[in-house]
Amino acid sequence: MNSPAPMAAIFGMAGLSLTAAERAFFLRSRPAGYILFARNIDKPSQVIALVRDLRALDSSYDPVVLIDQEGGRVQRLKPPHWRHAPPMADFGVLHARDPGKASEGLRLNNRMIGAELAALGIDVDCAPCMDVPVEGAHDIIGDRAFGRDPAVVAALSPPACEGLIDAGVVPVIKHIPGHGRAASDSHKELPVVSDDLTTLRANDFAPFKALCATPLQDLCFAMTAHVVYQAIDSQRPATTSKAVINDIIRGEIGFRGLLMSDDLGMKALTGPFDARAAAALDAGCDLVLHCEGDPAEMEAVAKGTGPLRANGQRALAAVVGIRRRPRAPVLDMAASGFRVADLLRHG
């Protein structure tokens, strides 16, 4: 008999190891995955033990383990145990000088990130950031993006994804359909974008649409933006908007893989956590994400979340298979690091 589908949720946890209460909650709720933050990370042996503990909770299914390891100012694994990777904007600068070398360096850089994650048992990286910042936007995206030209973002997103996939790690393209023109930080408040649909299509949506026209989209997750696009739905952010998810993300952009929400705990969203979770899933998200590790909030999210639906199960199975694919040869991390640095400096 097949085991029941896991819960359509990804949860964080409070510390370096599971508490008894977290262990009991995760056993009961069976989330589809877990996400790690700096508070969960000390040294490699500790992270490996935590990831193994999470996966050993229930042998009837295979949860994914996520992290934000973009490079630059957003990376949870830091020196001295892990490399400090450059921000993605550096590769956009290199692209202006030499597009080929930018793609080479970026794929190698992200393969190095992926190799570090895979060594710990982490199989999903919440990267790359495919947003296109505009003049006057909040700097929450900033140098996390490849640049302000949608053509450059479209050109560099595939090698960024390919580098992670080479290492057996699933990329998460974000923040679909685009966070780059938001004038506020969605961690703190709800951004509202008033630009017309023609502008959004030509700029914000374009890199996502370009990637979704390739086979790469079948090897990626996508993460929604907690942003209101008034030209599409003036009342709800993308995460909880059927119009944005059905008409734009699934329709115009054409993303057919596993769609997850950004963190339900961000202040862009309001209301009880069970209602937040239910609204995101009802709008068309396959998974909801809750990051803080707060026990009461997690219980509420679980209350508003059902089992992973059939489409989500198929998409999850497809991308989880990445870590079982034959890997590229093992990297010489020191030589690879020198090559990336040399390309960025002199390429």
At which residue do the structure tokens 């934000």 appear?
68
The radius of gyration of the chain's CA atoms, rounded to the nearest angstrom, is 19
Please indicate whether residue 262 is annotated as part of the active site.
yes
Q: 53, 84, 187, 196: which one is catalytic?
A: 187
Give 309's Cβ-side CA count (13 Å radius).
13
Catalytic residue among 143, 204, 233, 262: 262
Report whether 285 contacts 238 (CB < 8 A): no
Q: Find out whether 143 and 151 touch, Cβ atoms under 8 Å.
A: no
Name the β-bridge partners of 67: 36, 125
CB 322 within 8 A of CB 257: no
Return phi, psi of residue 33, to 5°: -170, 180
- Residue of 273, 336, 258 lying closest to 304 (CA atoms): 273
CA dihedral sign, ordered 198, 224, 167, 8: negative
Q: Do 331 and 112 touch, CB atoms closer than 8 A?
A: yes
Catalytic residues, by residue number, are 187, 262
